[in-house]
Each structure stands twice: as structure tokens, then as C-alpha cells.
Structure 1
Amino acid sequence: MPLNSRIINLNEEQDYRLICVSDIHGGLDLFKKLIEKVDFKQSDYLVIIGDFIEKGKFNKETLLYIKELSEKDNIIVLSGNCEAFISRLILQKNNCKKIMRYIKYKPHKSIFDEWIEELNINIDEIDGDNLQNILIQNYKDDIEFLGMLPIALEIEDFIFVHAGINEKEDWKESTLKTFLYCEQFYKKNNKSGKTVVVGHWPASNYRDYSINCDSIIDNEKKIICIDGGYNVKKIAQLNALIIEKTNGEYNIYNESADEFHKYIVIEDSFGTKEIPRKIGWPNNRIEIIEHKKEFSVCKRLDTGELINVKNEIIELGDEGYYCNQDYQEYYLTVDKGQVIDVVDIYGSYALATLNGEYGWIKKNFIEKL
């Protein structure tokens, strides 16, 4: 199928409200919570720019729900790399060995896990060719839906695509690999003349001094990155980019939903004055200098800087120790009576967020609401 036939063009001369979501990754409940929060109406557009399956707990249910949504005229569902990858694994016979490797060794949840459980298949007693045939027989409509999704949407001054476009004035000449797999698109040049809205690469990856997961809206570069890292990162959320057109003018802003718990501060706490540089993939390797009860003294291998790292964040991999999530040696400043969101409790400390910044606070300084 030619790529141009998978690009949707909409001409909208009237005022409108458009809601764009990406990288749901099997998070059906949080997606529904987000859509309710932004008060999605039949008069709005809803654009989902890919990766609504894989990595989360409810991939099959999310797929079925997205399929139903896609039947409505005001809802547009685009492919991400996950949808394209899963459909290729099943539909292309030369992937019969690859599909088995993926199922057995993937580091995350997959729609394959749910399909295999539903069909009561013993993965150790079947080969890839037979598995492909069985999945096609039982989930033909779902698999074809994943493989035939559009890859881009153009509406007025905006382009919506999962990962990015090539650095060309005629952006429609981009390759399928770029549309679906482009890495770090925000660091590239956008020559299309339109604002490009992408997911795929968590927005927090671009922030050196913040773990904040909100969408990046860069009017100068005409690039908007909306992936909140959900089901990819520990600290994550689902973002909804809202574009409101009124009398030819655009109002663009971000809304989000997360799974954190609300706590109230019961004692004042004075934290870190300056925000330190973040440790994040791929520059997340460390060397333990001195092991301590809560925070161990470590050296960042990328900068040589000594920092205190919470022990639960330290993990041993094939190439040595690393931080298993985005990390900052940062302590929140809070006042008694403030309400904060807590990501998790680690030992005697809580990892929490206040005013868009993430940091540590002693858990006996807070109470759950």
C-alpha cells in the first residue's frame, strides 16, 4: 500500500477543538480517565497517534476499545511502531521465528500474552508458523486493523504522526521508518512549515533538569512532543494535547492524567535550593562509591559527579550499575497543609511531585488522603 494513501487530510474551515493522545500502551483505564477529564464531546476531534498497545496490562481491551472509537467520524486513529510491529510479526511468514523470540524474551507485557492465555496455548509446545496461523484464524479483524491504520494526519497548520518526519519541505516524502520509529525528533529540523505533533519519545527525555512528563510545546521549532512515558517509565502520565481554534486563532495547551496518590503534608520540610541535573537513559550508569542505608554515594559515569542515589533506584545490569528510572538528588520544599502527589514509597522516603517537579520527602511528614 503506497504511503500517501495512508495519510489523511482534513480541511476544517470552522472553529474546532481537537484532543490528541499518544502512547497509551495498554492503559485503558487511565485513557478513559483522561478523556473524561478533558470533557471530550461529539463535537470535538480525537486523534490517537499510535502505540495504544504493548507494555501495559490491558492491551486486548484497549485494542477493542480503540477499534470501536475509530468507527466514529470525529475520531482518527494512527499507527505507531507497536501496532505496525505486532501486525508484521503475525502476517509476514518470514517472521515465524522472530515472533517466538519476541514472545519468550520481551521485557514487558504484550497483547500476545493475552491472546495466548485466552486461547490456552502452551508457547513451549508450538512453533511460530502454527502460532501465526492460529492467531490469524482467531483475531483476523484485529490484526488487519493494526496493519492498515493510517500513519499521518494533516489538518490546516498541523501534522500528526507517531514518531516524526524527514527533514524535507515535502514531508509526505518521509519514509515509513521515520513516520513510526524516528528517535529524538525534537532534536531534528522541521522543514514542513507546519507544527508537527509527535509521541514515541517521552517528553521527559528531553529535559536535562526535570523529570516533568508534560508535553513540550515549542512554537519556534513548530514541534510538539506529547508522550508522557506511560507504562515505559516509573514516573509517567498520559498527556492530552488540546488545540482550540477560535476565529482563526489557536489556543494550545496540555492536560494529563496519572496514577499517583494524593497525600497531605503534616510537617514543613525545607528541601534542595537548586535543581540538579537529571540522570536518565541512556546516560544512567553509575558506580557505587559507598553503600549506605537509604541513599548510597555514587559516581555518575557520564560526568564523574558524586551524587546520593536512593538504593531502590540502583540496579545491576550486564554493564554494571545503573539507575532504573529517571533520578535527581532533589528534596521537595513543602509547607504543612499542602497536597502533593506521591509516586511511591521507598524505605523512609516518598518520591513525590509538587508544581511539576519530582523529589524526596520523609514519609512521616505526609499522610495519605
Structure 2
Amino acid sequence: MKRIIAISDIHGEIHKFERLLEALEFNPDHDQLILLGDYVDRGPDSKAVIEKVMRLRDQGAILLKGNHEDMMEKAFQNESNIKHWLRNGGLETLRSYEYTIPSAQLEEAVSAFIPLKKNEAVTKHLDFIQTLDHYYETDDYIFVHGGVDPTTPVSETDPHLLMWIREEFHYGYKGEKPVVFGHTPTHAFHDSVDVFFGKNNIIGIDGGCVYGGQLNALELPTRQTYHIK
């Protein structure tokens, strides 16, 4: 049986991501890598992370969509969504795609980017983002970016909720199948950035690496954890 490795919320931290894969001695021939989203925003090189995960998917990795990919996609679709994205780390993502940032002031930057035009690399990567799934389920686990609706089968849940849900899932989930998720840094659950194993079968793996925490990896079925600061 392949070792399952779950990682989430890379947020442009390409060097930490590559170091973590090295620490794991990741081998796509023997390991099933599952990435839970939020590849972009806030960190230094979102473009490089997207390019890396695209190559990993070609090698068999399973890639899910996070709320930050959702924001990026919507910002390029409708100018009314640009400010929300830029306020949440989109400026750093645009820099990684070699956009010229006109000012340190958010309001001026927003005005300068209306409408937000795609360059060649962005076009390619947005096409890729549109193909990402919102959850992955095995016989033993559910993998998702934000969480699941405690009252609705995951297969019937609005994809937007799977990317964005927080407290309703954190405190309301009572399912028998463990849910592995990112989105909410684990220090929100315990006084640590380590992987959080909740008593109600939720497993949070977002170590808040882009906020000075750490990038976590969860190995299954052993539940061994790894991290890079």
C-alpha cells in the first residue's frame, strides 16, 4: 500500500515546500501525495509553487482547490473581486508573475489593475486551477481544503463551502470518517502550529507557514507528522 502524504497551505513558499518533500524522501512511485490547496498568495513565489504542483500532478499527485485559488480565479473574472483578492495576498502573487505594482497603497493598486489582464503564465495557470477538485475521499479518509458540512454528504456539498467553511465544521462534525483539512492554522485549535488531531475526527494540518509558523505534512495511515519552519 502506498504511503499517503497530505500537505496544505503552501502559500507561495516554494523553498519550504521543496525542503519538506526532501525531508519526506518523497517518491511518486511509492507515495500518494495529496495537496489540499492554497498554493498562492502572501508568500514570495506563488508562480513557482503552481508550476511545481502541476509537475507533481503529472506524476500522480492529487491536487485540491483552496479558497485562495478561488479568489485569484474570480479576480480575473470580475473586477468587483479584485480588491478582496489583493487584500488577501494577491499583490504578492501578481509580483511573482512579474506584474508591476504601481504603489504600496492598496487603493491605488486596485485602481491600476482594473480590469485585471492576464499574461501568458497567468492564463496557463488559471486554466489549470479550473481543473482542480474540491475534495478527495478514500475508504478511510476525506481530504478537503476548508472542511465539510456536518449535515450534508460531501459529494452533495456546495464547492464554495468546502473551500471556505470554518467553525461550523470544526465544532459540528461528528462523522466516523476522519477529515484531513487545511485553511485554518492549527494554532486556532491548540497552542501549537503542529498538526491538530481533534477528538471529533478532524485533522488540521495548516501550520501557518506563511505567517512564521511551519509547513506540515501528515503521513497516513501511520499519522506520523513532518514539518519545515
- The answer to whether the 8 A contact 1:88-1:147 is kept is no
- Return the match for 1:187 from 147, 171, 178: 171
1:276-312 per-position Cα deviation (integer Å, ceiling 9, x unaligned): xxxxxxxxxxxxxxxxxxxxxxxxxxxxxxxxxxxxx
- The answer to whether the 8 A contact 1:161-1:197 is kept is yes
How do 1:96-245 residues align onto structure 2 when only pairs under 5 Å count? 96-99=79-82, 102-103=85-86, 105-106=87-88, 109-115=91-97, 118-120=98-100, 122=102, 126=112, 128-129=114-115, 131-132=116-117, 135=118, 139-168=122-151, 170-184=153-167, 185-191=169-175, 193-207=176-190, 210=191, 212-218=192-198, 220-231=199-210, 233-234=211-212, 236-244=213-221
CA distance in 1, matches of 2:84, 2:47: 20
Flag the structure with higher helix content. Answer: 2
Q: Give the unaligned 5+ runs of structure 2.
A: 103-108
Q: CA deviation at 1:224?
A: 0.7
Runs of 4+ more than 4 Å apart: 105-109, 119-127
What SS class does the counterpart of residue 36 from structure 1 fall into? helix
Q: CA deviation at 1:26?
A: 0.6
Q: CA deviation at 1:39?
A: 1.1
CA distance in 2, matches of 1:169, 1:51: 24
Aligned length: 221
Q: CA deviation at 1:167?
A: 1.1
- The answer to whether the 8 A contact 2:35-2:64 is kept is yes
CA distance in 2, matches of 1:162, 1:127: 28
CA distance in 2, matches of 1:144, 1:35: 26
CA distance in 1, matches of 2:111, 2:178: 50
CA distance in 1, matches of 2:110, 2:65: 31
Distance 1:202 1:114, change over 3 A: same
* One-letter code aligned to 1:197: V
Q: CA deviation at 1:147?
A: 2.4
- The answer to whether the 8 A contact 1:241-1:254 is kept is yes
The reply to whether residue 81 of structure 1 matches residue 64 of structure 2 is no
Provide the TM-score with structure 2 as the length reference: 0.87
* One-letter code aligned to 2:3: R
Bigger RCO (CA 8 Å, 6+ sep): 2
How do 1:1-369 residues align onto structure 2 when only pairs under 5 Å count? 15-41=1-27, 42-73=29-60, 75-90=61-76, 92=77, 95-99=78-82, 102-103=85-86, 105-106=87-88, 109-115=91-97, 118-120=98-100, 122=102, 126=112, 128-129=114-115, 131-132=116-117, 135=118, 139-168=122-151, 170-184=153-167, 185-191=169-175, 193-207=176-190, 210=191, 212-218=192-198, 220-231=199-210, 233-234=211-212, 236-244=213-221, 251-258=222-229
1:198-235 per-position Cα deviation (integer Å, ceiling 9, x unaligned): 0000111112xx2x1111123x422111010111x33x
Distance 1:180 1:31, change over 3 A: same
Q: CA deviation at 1:110?
A: 2.6
Q: CA deviation at 1:59?
A: 0.9
* One-letter code aligned to 1:222: N
Q: Give the unaligned 5+ runs of structure 1.
A: 1-14, 245-250, 259-369
The match for 1:322 is: none
Q: CA deviation at 1:178?
A: 2.0
Identity of aligned residues (%): 26
Q: RMSD between aligned alpha carbons? A: 2.2
